[in-house]
């Protein structure tokens, strides 16, 4: 039998022709700016946590709201007084949906965050304002009369790359994340592929305009939610499929600890519903393919190079929303194999609303048609 490693083998020559350019290109790009790294040693590739209640065909029951008018409704904020649901869209507009109009769901163009704005996280402020984490403009405040103010766009001399998640504590302090100081939103997948800790968790004090970096070296720091007792907050690290708890008050102030690990997907936004549960958007379900990519940096480097020349499918399916108890126990998962890039969930009454990075509508499902999770 002919030895395929001999130079006379056409198969071996073909493999060399295919592999050498890939290895060379990977080296060139890696020495340029991109540098894929290994995940932390304590990151687990074991079986994902078990979720007691699974609803894995929610698209059949989902209702579309504002279809064609809400492109990329990334995060959701609800004002129970006016019954307006606010969201940030791809074109930089904050739009709001009237939930009190007998099911007509009228959509209003409320305010634009900037010429190049892309609002991600949104939350109501204590004074009736809307606080926005805009990927390109920074941390913003929009007054009730629609005046847009940039609160901060850098910390410790480092500009925000992707201002992402945001929440407000009862004392008015704003907590927010910068997913990556290295990359911008339009190439955020490079940060995911590089899998290095470029993210930060910060606080902003409106009374003094002081910004404090609470944590750094985070792996794509994403959603953030202040706990109901105001002693801690939960933040998500997308790349590591986990959410952690950081204490902001009390004896444990400054301590950073595990909240929920080994999620069945990649977490985006997180919101507390006022009824004993957090809701975590999972932008994609965990797959064997992505596990392999995250185990081996060289494979992510090859994918990075290939993506510069052709569109590489990222297998971002089986997205959904995970309900979690106050102590970090999974309760219920609402997902679908054909659901893509869900960014967050918000429970309002008997409905679970969820946004998306690229769809042109907000979706909602009626939780009375399924078993509502117990506290």
For 251, other C-beta atoms within 10 Å of its C-beta total 7
Q: Return the ∠ at Cα 117 (arms to 114 and 121), rounded to 5°.
A: 120
Q: How far apart are CA 262 and CA 240, in angstroms?
A: 8
Residue whose C-alpha is closest to residue 75's, from 285, 357, 267? 357
Residue whose C-alpha is closest to residue 283's, from 294, 270, 293, 296? 270
pTM for the whole thing? 0.91
For 83, other C-beta atoms within 10 Å of its C-beta total 14
| φ, ψ (nearest 5 deg) of residue 171 | -90, 5
Q: How far apart are CA 322 and CA 281, in angstroms?
A: 6
Q: What is the pLDDT along the chain (375 residues), one digit of tens a residue?
A: 444 444 446 554 544 444 555 555 555 555 468 999 999 999 999 999 999 999 999 999 999 999 999 999 999 999 999 999 999 999 999 999 999 877 789 999 999 998 899 999 999 999 999 999 999 999 999 999 999 999 999 999 999 999 999 999 999 999 999 999 999 999 999 999 999 999 999 999 999 999 999 999 999 999 999 999 999 999 999 999 999 999 999 999 999 999 999 999 999 999 999 999 999 999 999 999 999 999 999 999 998 888 776 666 666 789 999 999 999 999 999 999 999 999 999 999 999 999 999 899 999 999 998 754 454
For helices 297-307 and 10-32, what crossing angle results, to 10°? 90
Residue whose C-alpha is closest to residue 189's, from 132, 245, 239, 117? 239
């Amino acid at each position: 039998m002919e030895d395929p490693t001999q130079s006379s083998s056409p198969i071996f020559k073909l493999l060399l022709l295919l592999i050498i350019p890939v290895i060379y290109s990977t080296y060139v790009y890696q020495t340029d700016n991109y540098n894929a790294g290994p995940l932390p040693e304590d990151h687990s590739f074991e079986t994902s946590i078990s979720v007691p209640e699974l609803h894995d065909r929610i698209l059949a029951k989902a209702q579309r709201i504002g279809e064609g008018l809400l492109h990329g409704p990334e995060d959701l904020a609800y004002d129970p007084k006016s019954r307006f649901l606010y969201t940030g869209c791809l074109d930089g507009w904050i739009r709001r949906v009237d939930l009190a109009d007998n099911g007509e769901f009228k959509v209003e163009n409320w305010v634009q965050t900037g010429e190049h704005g892309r609002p991600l996280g949104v939350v109501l402020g204590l004074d009736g304002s809307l606080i926005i984490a805009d990927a390109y403009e920074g941390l913003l405040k929009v007054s009730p009369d629609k005046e847009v103010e940039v609160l901060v766009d850098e910390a410790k001399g480092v500009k925000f790359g992707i201002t992402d998640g945001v929440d407000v504590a009862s004392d008015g302090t704003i907590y927010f994340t910068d997913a990556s100081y290295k990359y911008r939103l339009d190439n955020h997948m490079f940060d995911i592929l590089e899998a290095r800790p470029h993210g930060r968790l910060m606080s902003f004090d409106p009374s003094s305009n002081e910004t404090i970096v609470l944590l750094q070296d985070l792996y794509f720091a994403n959603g953030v939610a202040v706990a109901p007792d105001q002693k801690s907050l939960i933040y998500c690290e997308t790349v590591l499929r986990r959410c952690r708890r950081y204490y902001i008050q009390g004896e444990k102030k400054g301590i950073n600890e595990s909240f929920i690990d080994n999620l069945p997907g990649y977490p985006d936004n997180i919101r507390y519903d006022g009824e004993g549960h957090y809701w975590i958007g999972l932008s994609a379900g965990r797959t064997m393919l992505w596990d392999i990519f995250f185990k081996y940096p060289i494979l992510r480097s090859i994918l990075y190079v290939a993506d510069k020349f052709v569109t590489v499918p990222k297998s971002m399916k089986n997205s959904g929303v995970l309900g979690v108890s106050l102590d970090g126990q999974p309760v219920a998962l609402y997902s679908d194999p054909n659901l893509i890039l869900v960014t967050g969930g918000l429970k309002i009454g008997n409905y679970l609303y969820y946004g998306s990075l690229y769809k042109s509508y907000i979706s909602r499902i009626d939780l009375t048609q399924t078993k509502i999770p117990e506290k």
